[in-house]
Structure 1
Amino acid sequence: MGQGQAHPSVTPLAIAVLALLEERPMHPYEMFQTLIARREDKLVKVRPGSLYHTVSRLADQELVHAEGVDRAGNRPERTTYRITGRGREALRNRIAEIVRRPVPEYPIFPVALGELHNLPKTEALTLLRERIGVLETELADADMLSAWAEEHVVPRRYWISLPYLRAILAAELTWVKEFTAELAGGALEWEDFDPVTGERSAAEPAADTPVSLPVPPGAVAAADPRFSDHPS
């Protein structure tokens, strides 16, 4: 790995692991407990199996180092890990890479929105209202966590992701509410479905042409240089 380059193994969960070990040496079970206690599972997918696998992979690549084995009572042996110099460099480079430039993250919700017309209007409205309820709960949870952090005088740099996540939740909640009201009020056209079979009505005309959005100049070339108009 060259100077200033992010290590390819530094996944979101690996970032969380390296950041914990930057604080102090830990064994994987302690890492898992700490991540859950801090509600880091709101940011990354935290599972015991994937966490142990991540730690093992980081050790193989010398980004963390096993420095001791501890056994207490009848509990299984637990290996304590410490971050290495390479691991610290990889962590900082990966954070810088992510912050520097936005990249497509491919969230799944827009995919479902784009295909929501495949469901009857009544079902779409039911599902959207369910989502509104979940978003409202998550928004209240984010407010509670922020209030707790302020009350306990936790330095803001440690929970700066909370107001960001709250802003994302609030924006989505506002949009989904407006979209649901538009669909429910009839302002948004929707295909007719047979109320019994759930199939599209035979009277519903098919789209004349496929729907395509314009592609920004250079987008294809950026994705694959073989499509560039300029010879290398």
Structure 2
Amino acid sequence: MSVTTTRLLLLGAVGLFEPVNGYQIRRELLSWRVDEWASIKPGSIYHGLRSLADQGLMSAQTVADGGRDVVVYQLTDAGRAALEDAIVSAVVDVNVFDRHAFQAAFGLLPMLGGERAEDALRRRRAAVRQSIPEILPPEGSNPYAPPHAVRSLELWKSFAEVELHWLDGVLDDIGAGRLDFDGTGRWAQPADDPGYQMMDDRERYRAELGGRRD
């Protein structure tokens, strides 16, 4: 899996829950099943977080948590800018043979806000529509192409056509008010969602970090 997708997922997960510790990020990302569709190895998550901190895209600070010390991560201003740029790029830069980065970015679109999210999706729809005629070579242009290879490209073309239809539906839902990326929709976090524990931890981490003078 490309570094771009891994980086996007790590920046996005930290941005959603910061300040947050590495174990929580690992648990959250595995609940998204990134080990299956993004081929991210669970053990690589900790290394990725440390690497992004070394690059100045996250801060890494040690706090006391239940009698033990844990490292918690927060995005820096540079990290937040990098995340937003990565989300937009993953949506608008179309690769009809690899949608992993887009899959990651779509789940993070609320971090852009409604207007930017919709604009990025419209740009993607235009790019997908433009790409479809380019997937298959013109009929008869390559008489040496094996028939089974042409049939394989037809499958990729079908995937792109399905995505175009799906994007039409997403944008229709946005226009009709059935879907939004501003946090004003009807969905609410269930009372038994384990993510509430992360919210409690976040408030404790914020309180400790806010009281520091270093």
Tell whether the structures are fold-level matches, with TM greater than 0.5: no
Q: Give the greater-gyration-radius structure (CA).
A: 1
- TM-score in terms of structure 1 length: 0.38
Structure number with higher helix proportion = 2
